[in-house]
Structure 1
Amino acid sequence: MVELPRYVHAKRRRGGLELSFQKFRGTANAWPRVKLPGNPLSQEFVRKVSLCARLEANKKGEDWSWQFVDIMDRRHDLPAPQPDPEAFWKAVERADAVGLELSAGVRKTFSALIAEFKASAAYQLNIDENGNSRPGLADSTRDQYERNLDDIEEAWGSDPVADLTPVDVQKAIDAFRDTPSAGRVFRSVLSRLCSWGIPRGYGTSNPVEHTETSENAGTYDPWTPAAFEHFFQHARIGLHLPVYSGLFTGQRLSDVIDMRRPREGVTEMPLIAQKTGELVPVQIHSEYRAIIQAQNSDHVMLHLREDGEPWTYYGFKTAWQREMNRPEFEIFRKNRWVFHGTRKNAVNNLLEVGCSEARVAAIVNMSPAMVHHYSKKVSQFRLARAAMEQFEEGWAKLRPSVLGTVKIVGKE
């Protein structure tokens, strides 16, 4: 039998020879097997074995993550080799091709651009001089970028970035007509990617700037009183406090999950906003403090699961989505009541009680322009109520000139 390369193992099956690549076989650190072609003399086998030398596999809990290190020493995330080895090898070949393109410095494709962007400080975690991590993108934003970058690579991966036209982009955006918020995010990610590539030689202009998107894209409705009542009646208890935190502080989910339990007597919970990297002086409302104290916990983190362990961002998102998919929350899906809507509740509440737009922006860490956008509707309702109060007060004098001597129905 032909001598097999290192880490390649053979098993005889009824259908022939089964070959696989597996590091550290027979140890506690053994990798999952990577399926190889059955003919060890074929060119395909030789190529795939050479590519296996650039694989990396890491275990976290019960799950494995896979990466391919290309010729430029850039890492590309891969799907698991099982149960779909074809998709796995397709991703490996694509990652290898991107590395070769970058090495040659030629075609400047979307695949190459995405690889460079993911390896940059704009995308990856940054570590400051004190050893503290500062993300180029917040966890929640990176999650959105991952999904949309995959879609962009699937659509235009082998195409030069400079060849993309506004017509191409608009067609892609229009495909999101039934999910306008997803279309808004897709457009934003593509625009950021194209802009990032301009000074790096991938193009001379951003075609996304010449496209349009739905006016209502990305809008979320604030929760109604009935929504809050329904949620606290039907949702699992571990999700309750984060919703209260969203309502009383107006922070994004990624920042809510990172909140630490405030010490007794303090009036604020300082945190570093993931999206902006800025220090936010989160103020503690008296009723919010009472809700926190009712939790009766001394854990350093504020938001805990039912088992007393702190939520992670992705763990909370998974639990939230599972909860929202239950039949009891069909009304939430129908009315677009999502966690981010509590942020709009917080802004509206502050505006309703007369806070200035500058004060609201400081409390909820939102741009003044966005607060002004929210304030238009709140001001409309406030003016409408004031107008009705004034109408009621002046109606007695105005009525004769409008209705004359007409009697009120049911009265003499």
Structure 2
Amino acid sequence: MGKVQLPRHVHRVISRGREYFYYQEGRGTPHAGERIKLPNDPTTPEFWNAVRQAQGLTGPTPTDTIGALADAYEAAWPTLQRKLTQGTQDQYRRHLEYVRTAWGDLPARDLRPKHVNALIQKIGAEKPGTANNVLSALKAMTKWANGPVELLAHEPTTGVIPFPKGEGHRPWTEEQLAYAEEHFTGMIRRFFFLSRYTGQRISDVVRLSPNDVDEGGFARPQKKSGVRPWCPIFPELEAEMSKWERRPGPYLLQEVGRSVGKPFSTNQMWKEFNKERAKHPVLAGVVPHGLRANAVIRLREGGLTALQISDFVGLSVDMVERYSRHADRKANGQALLRTMREQNEGEVVKRLEIGKQE
């Protein structure tokens, strides 16, 4: 069995080569609570329902509910043959909460596509992206449950259609980019340059360090997807980095408070960015993720294909195409204007030449 992350107060004991699990609050202290024996397999719904009961729930708890199925699925992640990245696990866990809230006590055998579709439509009325993520997490769970574990005998997501994908986060305007380059200082300035010219997510930018430089580019596995892109260090970024002091660790370290000198977490960097953005009305509405779009558009306008950009930035080809649509439409429109002007100029010259001949 792969390693399973056990909840608080649950202890694993090995005796005579066999695993046993117990729930006991305050173990090893003068205030230790009752020691409660748990089922021996933490990947089963029975195990997690026993934990719930030990935590204070009374009465029998069903083991075939949607909530119990979600518990079993999350517990099984470390044992899956195709491992889920930590980022994917975080996404699934967050979006399965919608499923738990809607049908936690519903028997799993009673969940039908009409129920799933109703939930997705309800969420998607205001948050279509979230609705799609909930559907993806639910599909992953039911696919697992219908597999060798045989915890489900039907597919409740059949025929449920996700919402159309949008064009992704809007890129920053040229005015906003120029403004940030002129006014940002300190770690926010570093964050801006790293994000703009690598096209990486916040969770990856805050971890970038000199150790990730590989022959003129950054090579580091992405936290969310596990993909290892190779991001070229463009001259603008190289020139900016040449001003940074040389030291070990991430490029981005906190500058104030009790955590001075420590790396940023994703949430901490978001908070710092939000505070900086609030100071500058011209930046209203921009988000760091929009700089991914700017990076993609820059590469697209440089003549690179979607597949090449995918290798550089670590986005799927489909996502690259979505981010590139604005730039492609603008380029196509400008090309049309140039063609029309050339045609009009040609017609004017032709009429003048004919007039001279007469």
Q: CA deviation at 1:155?
A: 1.7
The Cα shift of 1:284 comes to: 1.0
CA contact (8 A) 2:70 2:141 kept: yes
TM-score of the aligned structures, taking structure 1 as reference length: 0.63
Q: Determine if contact 2:66/2:103 at 8 Å carries over to the other structure.
A: yes
1:112 and 1:203 map into 2 onto residues whose CA distance is 12
Match of 1:165 among 95, 109, 112: 112
Q: Over aligned residue pairs, what C-alpha RMSD do you find?
A: 4.0
Aligned match of 2:194 in 237, 241, 245?
Answer: 245
Given that residues 247 and 342 in structure 1 are in contact (C-alpha distance below 8 angstroms), is that contact kept between their aligned partners in structure 2?
yes
Correspondent of 2:102 among 136, 152, 155: 155
SS of residue paired to 1:299: coil
How many correspondences in the alignment?
Answer: 313
Q: 1:180 aligns with which of 128, 138, 151?
A: 128
Cα distance between partner residues in 1 of 2:225 and 2:298: 23
Cα shift at 1:366: 2.1
Q: State whether residues 173 and 183 of structure 1, in contact with CA within 8 Å, keep that contact through their aligned partners in structure 2.
A: yes
Q: 1:255 aligns with which of 200, 204, 212?
A: 204
Q: Which residue of 2 aligns with 1:80?
A: none
Residues 110 and 160, structure 1, Cα contact 8 Å, conserved in 2: yes
Residue segments in structure 1 that go unaligned for 5+ positions in a row: 1-20, 32-48, 55-68, 76-90, 127-133, 402-412
On the 8 A contact 2:309/2:320 being kept in 1, the answer is: yes
CA distance in 2, matches of 1:149, 1:321: 28
Q: Deviations over 1:219-257 (max 9, x none)?
A: 321222233355567777433322322221122222222
Q: Would you say the 8 A contact 2:193–2:237 is kept in 1?
A: yes
Question: CA 1:312/1:398 → structure 2, altered by over 3 Å: closer, same or farther?
Answer: same
What secondary structure does 1:175 align onto? helix
Match of 1:138 among 63, 66, 86: 86
- 1:345-356 mapped onto 2 (5 Å cutoff): 345-356=294-305
- Contact 1:270 1:280 survives alignment (8 Å): yes
Among 67, 71, 91, the residue aligned to 1:115 = 71
Q: Is the 8 A contact 1:348 1:378 kept in 2?
A: yes
Residue 388 of structure 1 deviates from its aligned partner by 0.9
- The residue type equivalent to 2:75 in the other structure is A
In structure 1, what residue type is equivalent to 2:293?
Answer: K
**262 and 327 in structure 1: CA distance in 2 versus 1, 3 angstrom threshold:** same
Conserved in 2, the CA contact under 8 Å of 1:182 and 1:218?
no
Give deviations 1:272-308, integer Å, cap 9, x for gaps.
Answer: 2233434322221111112222222413222222233
Q: Which residue of 2 aligns with 1:389?
A: 338
Output the amino acid matched with 2:155.
N
Matches within 5 A, 1:318-357: 318-320=271-273, 326=278, 332-333=284-285, 337-357=286-306
Q: CA deviation at 1:73?
A: 6.2
Pick the structure with more strand per residue.
1
Distance (whole Å) between structure 2 residues aligned to residue 264 and residue 217 of structure 1: 33
Q: 1:265 to 1:279 in 2, by over 3 A?
A: closer
Shift of 1:311: 1.6
Distance of aligned partners of 1:368 and 1:148 in 2 relative to their CA distance in 1, 3 Å threshold: closer
Which residue of 1 is the match for residue 5 of structure 2?
none
Instruction: Determine if contact 1:351/1:375 at 8 Å carries over to the other structure.
Output: yes
Whole-angstrom distance in 2 between the partners of 1:263 and 1:71: 44
Residues 213-292 of structure 1: matches in 2 within 5 Å?
213-216=162-165, 219-229=168-178, 231=180, 237-261=186-210, 266-292=215-241
Q: Deviations over 1:42-91 (max 9, x none)?
A: xxxxxxx64xx56xxxxxxxxxxxxxx9545649xxxxxxxxxxxxxxx9
Measure, in 2, the Cα distance between the counterparts of 1:165 and 1:152.
13
Q: CA deviation at 1:185?
A: 2.0
Q: Tell me, in whole angstroms, the C-alpha distance in 2 between the residues paired with 1:291 and 1:150.
A: 43
Query: How far did residue 364 of structure 1 move?
Result: 0.9
Over 3 Å counting, the alpha-carbon distance change for 1:178 and 1:73 in structure 2 is same
* Structure 2, gaps ≥5 residues long: 1-24, 44-50, 351-358
Structure 2 CA distance for aligned equivalents of residues 329 and 118 of structure 1: 43
- Secondary structure at the aligned position of 2:245 is classed as coil
SS at the partner of 1:219? coil
Could you tell me the TM-score, scaled by structure 2's length? 0.71
Which whole-Å CA distance do the structure 2 matches of 1:330 and 1:71 have between them? Answer: 59
The answer to whether the 8 Å contact 1:123/1:137 transfers is: no
User: Residue 266 of structure 2 corresponds to which residue in structure 1?
Assistant: 313
The residue matched to 1:210 in structure 2 has which SS?
coil
Identical counterparts, % of pairs:
21
Give the alignment of 1:366-385 within 5 angstroms: 366-385=315-334
Contact 1:234 1:328 in 2 (8 A): no
Deviations 1:12-60 (A, max 9, x none): xxxxxxxxx867779xxx99xxxxxxxxxxxxxxxxx64xx56xxxxxx
Determine if contact 2:64/2:107 at 8 Å carries over to the other structure.
Answer: yes
Partners of 1:363 and 1:256 in 2: CA distance: 14
Partner Cα distance (1:94, 1:391) in 2? 76
